[in-house]
Copies of this chain bind each other. A is one copy, B any other.
Amino acid sequence: MSKIEVNTEQIVRAAARKVFTHKGFDGARMQDIADEAGINKSLLHYYFRSKDKLFEAIFQDVINTFLPPVVSILISDLPLFEKIRRFTDQYIDILVRNPDFAGFVIHELKINPQRLLGNIKQTGVDINIIKNQIEKEAEAGNIRSIKAEHFIANLISMCVFPFIARPVFIGMLNFGEDGYAQFIEERKIIVSETMINALTVSR
Protein backbone atom coordinates (compact mmCIF):
# COMPACT_ATOMS: atom_id res chain seq x y z
CA MET A 1 0.00 0.00 0.00
CA SER A 2 1.42 3.35 -0.95
CA LYS A 3 0.99 5.97 1.69
CA ILE A 4 -1.85 8.18 0.63
CA GLU A 5 -2.06 11.61 2.19
CA VAL A 6 -5.64 11.87 3.34
CA ASN A 7 -5.36 15.57 3.83
CA THR A 8 -8.70 16.54 5.30
CA GLU A 9 -8.44 20.11 4.09
CA GLN A 10 -8.04 18.92 0.51
CA ILE A 11 -11.05 16.64 0.88
CA VAL A 12 -13.05 19.60 2.15
CA ARG A 13 -11.84 21.77 -0.74
CA ALA A 14 -12.86 19.18 -3.31
CA ALA A 15 -16.27 18.69 -1.74
CA ALA A 16 -16.86 22.42 -1.41
CA ARG A 17 -15.82 23.03 -5.00
CA LYS A 18 -18.25 20.41 -6.21
CA VAL A 19 -21.19 21.75 -4.21
CA PHE A 20 -20.46 25.45 -4.72
CA THR A 21 -19.88 25.20 -8.47
CA HIS A 22 -22.98 23.05 -8.83
CA LYS A 23 -25.47 24.95 -6.69
CA GLY A 24 -23.93 28.39 -6.30
CA PHE A 25 -23.16 30.15 -3.03
CA ASP A 26 -26.77 30.81 -2.05
CA GLY A 27 -27.92 27.33 -3.00
CA ALA A 28 -25.07 25.51 -1.28
CA ARG A 29 -25.59 24.29 2.29
CA MET A 30 -22.73 23.72 4.68
CA GLN A 31 -24.34 20.38 5.53
CA ASP A 32 -24.27 19.44 1.82
CA ILE A 33 -20.55 20.09 1.71
CA ALA A 34 -19.95 18.15 4.93
CA ASP A 35 -21.94 15.20 3.56
CA GLU A 36 -20.08 15.33 0.26
CA ALA A 37 -16.80 15.26 2.18
CA GLY A 38 -18.05 12.60 4.58
CA ILE A 39 -17.22 14.61 7.68
CA ASN A 40 -18.85 16.52 10.48
CA LYS A 41 -20.16 19.96 9.66
CA SER A 42 -18.11 21.59 12.41
CA LEU A 43 -14.92 20.52 10.67
CA LEU A 44 -15.72 22.96 7.90
CA HIS A 45 -15.58 25.77 10.43
CA TYR A 46 -12.44 24.30 11.93
CA TYR A 47 -10.50 24.52 8.67
CA PHE A 48 -12.19 27.54 7.15
CA ARG A 49 -13.81 29.92 9.57
CA SER A 50 -17.08 30.61 7.80
CA LYS A 51 -19.08 29.84 4.69
CA ASP A 52 -17.83 33.08 3.16
CA LYS A 53 -14.19 32.24 3.83
CA LEU A 54 -14.61 28.75 2.42
CA PHE A 55 -16.31 30.15 -0.64
CA GLU A 56 -13.59 32.69 -1.32
CA ALA A 57 -10.95 29.97 -1.14
CA ILE A 58 -12.87 27.84 -3.63
CA PHE A 59 -13.53 30.77 -5.94
CA GLN A 60 -9.81 31.51 -6.00
CA ASP A 61 -9.08 27.84 -6.74
CA VAL A 62 -11.48 27.87 -9.64
CA ILE A 63 -10.07 31.07 -11.10
CA ASN A 64 -6.55 29.71 -10.86
CA THR A 65 -7.58 26.53 -12.62
CA PHE A 66 -8.87 28.03 -15.80
CA LEU A 67 -7.53 31.55 -16.16
CA PRO A 68 -3.70 31.24 -16.22
CA PRO A 69 -3.52 28.55 -18.93
CA VAL A 70 -5.49 30.53 -21.48
CA VAL A 71 -4.07 33.90 -20.53
CA SER A 72 -0.56 32.55 -21.08
CA ILE A 73 -1.54 31.63 -24.63
CA LEU A 74 -3.03 35.05 -25.35
CA ILE A 75 0.07 36.91 -24.20
CA SER A 76 2.54 34.52 -25.81
CA ASP A 77 4.46 35.46 -28.96
CA LEU A 78 2.77 32.91 -31.21
CA PRO A 79 1.41 33.96 -34.60
CA LEU A 80 -2.18 35.22 -34.35
CA PHE A 81 -3.90 32.31 -36.08
CA GLU A 82 -1.90 29.76 -34.12
CA LYS A 83 -2.87 31.61 -30.97
CA ILE A 84 -6.51 31.26 -31.91
CA ARG A 85 -6.18 27.53 -32.52
CA ARG A 86 -4.36 26.80 -29.28
CA PHE A 87 -6.59 29.05 -27.20
CA THR A 88 -9.73 27.38 -28.50
CA ASP A 89 -8.36 23.89 -28.06
CA GLN A 90 -7.00 24.54 -24.58
CA TYR A 91 -9.96 26.50 -23.24
CA ILE A 92 -12.55 23.98 -24.40
CA ASP A 93 -10.47 21.15 -22.96
CA ILE A 94 -10.42 22.78 -19.54
CA LEU A 95 -14.16 23.37 -19.65
CA VAL A 96 -14.83 19.79 -20.67
CA ARG A 97 -12.99 18.67 -17.56
CA ASN A 98 -14.79 21.26 -15.39
CA PRO A 99 -18.21 21.80 -16.91
CA ASP A 100 -19.57 23.83 -14.00
CA PHE A 101 -16.77 26.34 -13.70
CA ALA A 102 -17.82 28.91 -16.29
CA GLY A 103 -21.42 29.24 -15.15
CA PHE A 104 -20.31 29.32 -11.54
CA VAL A 105 -17.88 32.20 -11.99
CA ILE A 106 -20.30 34.15 -14.14
CA HIS A 107 -23.15 33.87 -11.68
CA GLU A 108 -21.18 34.67 -8.55
CA LEU A 109 -19.59 37.61 -10.29
CA LYS A 110 -23.04 38.90 -11.16
CA ILE A 111 -24.39 38.51 -7.62
CA ASN A 112 -21.38 40.06 -5.95
CA PRO A 113 -19.06 41.82 -8.39
CA GLN A 114 -17.22 44.14 -6.00
CA ARG A 115 -16.21 41.33 -3.66
CA LEU A 116 -14.87 39.03 -6.34
CA LEU A 117 -13.40 41.20 -9.08
CA GLY A 118 -10.20 41.59 -7.10
CA ASN A 119 -9.65 37.83 -7.13
CA ILE A 120 -9.67 37.92 -10.91
CA LYS A 121 -7.78 41.11 -11.62
CA GLN A 122 -4.63 40.03 -9.84
CA THR A 123 -4.17 37.34 -12.46
CA GLY A 124 -2.76 40.19 -14.50
CA VAL A 125 -4.09 40.06 -18.03
CA ASP A 126 -2.43 42.62 -20.25
CA ILE A 127 -4.76 43.34 -23.12
CA ASN A 128 -2.18 45.53 -24.86
CA ILE A 129 -0.11 42.58 -26.06
CA ILE A 130 -2.90 41.05 -28.11
CA LYS A 131 -4.11 44.53 -29.06
CA ASN A 132 -0.74 45.42 -30.59
CA GLN A 133 -0.53 42.12 -32.40
CA ILE A 134 -3.94 42.58 -34.00
CA GLU A 135 -3.19 46.16 -35.04
CA LYS A 136 0.11 45.13 -36.56
CA GLU A 137 -1.41 42.32 -38.60
CA ALA A 138 -4.22 44.61 -39.77
CA GLU A 139 -1.79 47.34 -40.86
CA ALA A 140 0.22 44.76 -42.76
CA GLY A 141 -2.98 43.83 -44.57
CA ASN A 142 -2.86 40.25 -43.32
CA ILE A 143 -6.24 40.40 -41.57
CA ARG A 144 -9.33 42.55 -41.46
CA SER A 145 -9.18 45.31 -38.88
CA ILE A 146 -11.02 44.63 -35.61
CA LYS A 147 -10.89 46.08 -32.11
CA ALA A 148 -9.05 43.78 -29.72
CA GLU A 149 -11.99 43.93 -27.29
CA HIS A 150 -14.35 42.53 -29.90
CA PHE A 151 -11.81 39.95 -31.02
CA ILE A 152 -11.52 38.66 -27.46
CA ALA A 153 -15.27 38.88 -26.91
CA ASN A 154 -15.95 36.82 -30.02
CA LEU A 155 -13.35 34.22 -29.17
CA ILE A 156 -14.31 33.72 -25.53
CA SER A 157 -18.04 33.88 -26.27
CA MET A 158 -17.95 31.05 -28.78
CA CYS A 159 -15.77 28.90 -26.55
CA VAL A 160 -17.56 29.39 -23.26
CA PHE A 161 -21.21 29.99 -24.01
CA PRO A 162 -22.11 26.45 -25.12
CA PHE A 163 -21.01 25.26 -21.66
CA ILE A 164 -22.98 27.82 -19.71
CA ALA A 165 -26.04 27.22 -21.83
CA ARG A 166 -25.58 23.47 -21.88
CA PRO A 167 -29.16 22.61 -20.84
CA VAL A 168 -30.49 24.88 -23.57
CA PHE A 169 -28.35 23.23 -26.22
CA ILE A 170 -29.19 19.72 -25.07
CA GLY A 171 -32.86 20.53 -24.81
CA MET A 172 -33.37 22.69 -27.88
CA LEU A 173 -31.09 21.04 -30.37
CA ASN A 174 -32.33 17.55 -29.60
CA PHE A 175 -29.06 15.88 -28.79
CA GLY A 176 -28.59 13.87 -25.63
CA GLU A 177 -25.57 13.70 -23.35
CA ASP A 178 -23.16 12.11 -25.84
CA GLY A 179 -24.46 14.09 -28.78
CA TYR A 180 -23.64 17.17 -26.75
CA ALA A 181 -20.14 15.89 -25.98
CA GLN A 182 -19.46 15.39 -29.66
CA PHE A 183 -20.90 18.80 -30.46
CA ILE A 184 -18.48 20.36 -27.98
CA GLU A 185 -15.53 18.45 -29.41
CA GLU A 186 -16.39 19.71 -32.90
CA ARG A 187 -16.37 23.27 -31.65
CA LYS A 188 -12.62 23.23 -31.14
CA ILE A 189 -12.28 23.33 -34.92
CA ILE A 190 -15.44 25.30 -35.67
CA VAL A 191 -14.62 28.20 -33.37
CA SER A 192 -11.06 28.63 -34.57
CA GLU A 193 -12.14 28.30 -38.21
CA THR A 194 -14.92 30.84 -37.70
CA MET A 195 -12.53 33.29 -36.11
CA ILE A 196 -9.85 32.81 -38.76
CA ASN A 197 -12.26 32.90 -41.70
CA ALA A 198 -13.86 36.08 -40.39
CA LEU A 199 -10.44 37.71 -40.11
CA THR A 200 -9.13 36.55 -43.46
CA VAL A 201 -9.36 39.14 -46.23
CA SER A 202 -10.85 37.89 -49.49
CA ARG A 203 -8.49 38.03 -52.47
Contacts and interface: CB of A to CB of B under 8 A. Distances in A.
A171 interface: yes
Interface string A106-121: 1101110100010011
Given A158-B157, A200-B202, A203-B202, A168 B27 contact: no
Copies of this subunit = 2
Interface string A123-138: 0010100000000000
B167 A158 contact: no
A154 B190 contact: yes
Contact of A26 (B27, B109, B160, B190): B27
For the complex, would chain A's binding face be called helix, strand, loop or mixed by DSSP majority? helix
Chain A interface residue count: which class?
35 or more
Given A121-B171, A158-B154, A190-B154, A166 B202 contact: no
Interface string A170-188: 0111110000000100110
Contact of A24 (B26, B127, B161): B26
